[in-house]
Structure 1
Amino acid sequence: MSLDIISFVEPQSPSIASPCVNVCTMDKATGWCLGCARTIREISNWSAKPAEERRTILAALPARKAELASRKG
């Protein structure tokens, strides 16, 4: 007798693109990249991070970018 085994895999979230803009310079005061506004920890292993973590990071970036822009002034 043969048993067919069916394996179910959770659907993967669509890829969430990295916000990197190839301006990899860190702001000493904030620890954020001047290009994408992420920390080194957020940048490292971006593609291996769970989708929810990537979405959380992306949600924080507009405010960070605004703060970085206001500091240039």
Structure 2
Amino acid sequence: MRRKNPKIGPLPDLPSPCTGVCSMDMQNLYCRGCFRTRLEIGGWALMSNEEKLQVVKQLHIRRHESPS
């Protein structure tokens, strides 16, 4: 069991992975810049850090699977 360190507070929110290239690829339904879906983009601010980390993991997979 992990002990909590009283000196460490909550982690700051993870920053958005937005790259400023906001264009949806209608074939795979991901943004061409950050590889998020419309639901992931719209819900980012409401997600917990754990949810955001799961999305970021998916983004890496999508980016590597996407033909460049």
- TM exceeds 0.5? yes
Residues 40-59 of structure 1 correspond to what in structure 2 (within 5 A)? Answer: 40-59=38-57
- 3-state DSSP of counterpart to 1:45: helix
Higher gyration radius (CA): 1
Distance 2:12 2:28 in 1: 30
When the two chains are superposed, the root-mean-square deviation of aligned CA atoms in Å is 1.4
Indicate whether 1:22 and 2:20 are aligned: yes
Distance 1:12 1:44 in 2: 24
Residues 3-42 of structure 1 correspond to what in structure 2 (within 5 A)? Answer: 12-42=10-40
Figure out how many residues of one structure are paired with residues of the other and give that number. Answer: 60
Distance 1:61 1:21 in 2: 12
User: Runs of 4 or more off by more than 4 Å in structure 1?
Assistant: none
Distance 2:58 2:43 in 1: 18
Q: Percent identity?
A: 35
Q: C-alpha displacement at 1:24, in angstroms?
A: 0.6
Q: C-alpha displacement at 1:63, in angstroms?
A: 1.3
Which amino acid in structure 1 is aligned with residue 47 of structure 2?
A: K
Q: Which runs of 5+ in 2 are unaligned?
A: 1-8
* Higher strand residue share: 2
TM-score by length of 2: 0.77
